[in-house]
Structure 1
């Protein structure tokens, strides 16, 4: 069947069972007439096997519903003195993070183990009996997770769950053949939807690459494809319009990092401190023609460039601020720097593992310098392109979110009997 995204994702084109009855469970609603519910203790046991003697050294973690092997190099920070306190889990065990439901209602808390390993004993590990299909129980609990019904189950001040809560939890008592049919259906359709999502994500990547090409061509070649060209003298820039110039950044603006005075201004509560882009909203006073701020180190992502339209702010010694522009407008400067600097000056390798960005690398970065009138035309052209680009990008992102919604609904309706797949 071809997957179609409709305006109402709850209208899924699959057959239903002949008749339904009230399950007696609020979050579950109606179930097929031939289905029965039974307490989960008939099919599950709590895992209590500790890693005494450190017999297993593969450390697992629960990350947004997935049980992942944790690389040894990442076993730092909040880790136990000994992994003997961890519990040993096997493939097809079900892991549930039962703590603190009140304070975290976004992440997924239930995962299916695929590899033998150890995981913190703070999590509940369920072993499923041979008379029940672990994957079906996982998908059934997953629907409890994605529907957020799990957050109504917690007890105590912090809404914690225990094995006692889950052993009384009502699960469908249906034939293994039916369970297997549902699991096969969910796997097949999930793979199709995931493939569709991947294709959309690849389209977004190509769209972002196209955006970079459009901006780079505009700021280095101009908007007139018939303009006479000349060699810029800079290998990575290549030819430029004959009437343009090339100059080093140090001749086009003033730039500097923060210092003791700027930090004192922050300490005195005078201005907010610029650290990264999420500070932009807090700035409301304009002081300089400052169109770009670049992080120079301190784990903030070396070489990241942020755009300020207005604002009065302080910046620390790991941040460069550019202002007092000469021969280039601040907006043209920002577009040029943000589209080329990381890929050219840092060879696309800007990352938090780079300790710092030397002043000389910034000062000697080459800029094309069109006449001011052309700069304004280029800025206007790119602004118009951005508006169209953003519209397309939002469309792709919306489609991805709708596909994810569709997948969640499809799984939930299949495992709870709202649609018939066998």
Structure 2
């Protein structure tokens, strides 16, 4: 149901409140400090957390358990410090509130959910007093003016939002589950295509390699060090700086910045020690033991600690771009040594310990093309679901704001 379809109150009045410029004529207006007391919680050390007991709430919600409580009842909690200052959560029954949470204790009869959602709409994060270490004070937020509907209407608004938001949240969960299934389907499709090829009737053979298992009979098994040579060539004079990413491969830092929407600090020292990377090289980065090897989509230079792999002519970079990021291959890399436990980087020797299989070059290209087109369709379906989720969340935010500020009448 669209917001415009809901009934409105008969008359409204101006408030001079930025986030709620007009409210129903019969509603009151008062500073938050006249509605409630606001006080930060208590300090808790890491040693005071327990495996069970009273729940502990900080500025961003639940943090664990401890053996003592600070409050009993149902309260609004406001994040006091950090990137999420102004964040709103709820706590109820017996609980412990940390110093990073401001506990809002009503001075008069107030519906907790209405109050919490009104505070959320007020956007207290915009009242932060420091850019370096964001934080809000109880004095500043206490002076903020709020609309104040009669208690029966507060309760009606809370009940309305509880019902509507539960339905929206359920719809979001369903779509998130659908996205998860699509991603699983995508991974299964890649795994099947790169290990069995496109012909389901192709005769199979045992590869003789544990992690590989059976492969089409005409495919070959190679030692990795014969398929890829380690390149230690230093950066060339005009090389651009590259970023090795799990999501996008090895790309220019400018492209990475445009994709993620944030700046990347460029290295200005020891440039002479960086390594040269060619288009379609593969890179072993610090995260390769988690997400596989990264394919280079640009020529440039990269940090000296990374391992550069130059492919042999038998390697189709599109095919191996999928193969070297499959979960089975990553697991095979992980069991080649103790580098994860010991905090060491994945080396060329680890890579060389894992044998690879090689279909004929043309078949590699056909498999990669099939995967790309199939994954593109799945990715398009995922984007549709993600857009639907974004619209549902936007609608939920708009609905909450409309209800708590009286733009719509729900009682």
Give the TM-score normalised by the residue count of structure 2: 0.76
1:331 corresponds in structure 2 to: 318
What is the number of residues matched between the two proteins?
A: 376
2:87 corresponds in structure 1 to: 109
> Could you say what secondary structure the match of 1:210 adopts?
helix
Structure 2 residue runs without a partner (length 5+): 50-54, 256-274
Q: 1:109 and 1:36 mapped to 2: Cα distance?
A: 25
Does residue 342 (structure 1) correspond to residue 346 (structure 2)? The answer is: no
Q: In structure 2, do the counterparts of structure 1 residues 402 and 411 end up closer, same or farther at CA, with 3 Å as the change threshold?
A: same
Q: 1:52 and 1:296 mapped to 2: Cα distance?
A: 35
Give the conservation status (yes or no) of the 8 Å contact 1:95–1:113: yes
Q: Deviations 1:24-64 (Å, cap 9, x if unpaired)?
A: 4232022223322233333212326756999x86753222x
Does residue 177 (structure 1) correspond to residue 152 (structure 2)? The answer is: yes
1:416 corresponds in structure 2 to: 405
Matches within 5 A, 1:164-313: 164-255=139-230, 272=241, 274=243, 276-277=245-246, 280-282=251-253, 288-296=278-286, 302-313=290-301
Structure 1 residue runs without a partner (length 5+): 5-9, 73-86
Instruction: Identify the match of residue 379 of structure 1 among 361, 364, 368.
Output: 368
Instruction: Identify the match of residue 78 of structure 2 among 96, 102, 120.
Output: 96
Give the TM-score normalised by the residue count of structure 1: 0.74
Q: In structure 2, do the counterparts of structure 1 residues 281 and 113 end up closer, same or farther at CA, with 3 Å as the change threshold?
A: farther
Q: Deviations 1:54-101 (Å, cap 9, x if unpaired)?
A: 9x86753222xxx222579xxxxxxxxxxxxxx95555343334568x
Give the conservation status (yes or no) of the 8 Å contact 1:136–1:180: yes
Give the conservation status (yes or no) of the 8 Å contact 1:95–1:112: yes
Q: 1:52 and 1:333 mapped to 2: Cα distance?
A: 50
Shift of 1:23: 3.1
2:382 corresponds in structure 1 to: 393
Instruction: Identify the match of residue 46 of structure 1 among 35, 38, 43.
Output: 38
Range moving further from structure 2, 286-295 or 222-231: 286-295
Q: In structure 2, do the counterparts of structure 1 residues 50 and 310 end up closer, same or farther at CA, with 3 Å as the change threshold?
A: closer
1:77 corresponds in structure 2 to: none
Q: 1:288 and 1:363 mapped to 2: Cα distance?
A: 20
> Could you say what secondary structure the match of 1:127 adopts?
strand
Q: Which has the higher strand share?
A: 2
Give the conservation status (yes or no) of the 8 Å contact 1:143–1:412: yes
Give the conservation status (yes or no) of the 8 Å contact 2:12–2:22: yes
Q: Deviations 1:4-35 (Å, cap 9, x if unpaired)?
A: 6xxxxx64543323333333423202222332
Q: 1:182 and 1:141 mapped to 2: Cα distance?
A: 14
Q: 1:157 and 1:230 mapped to 2: Cα distance?
A: 62
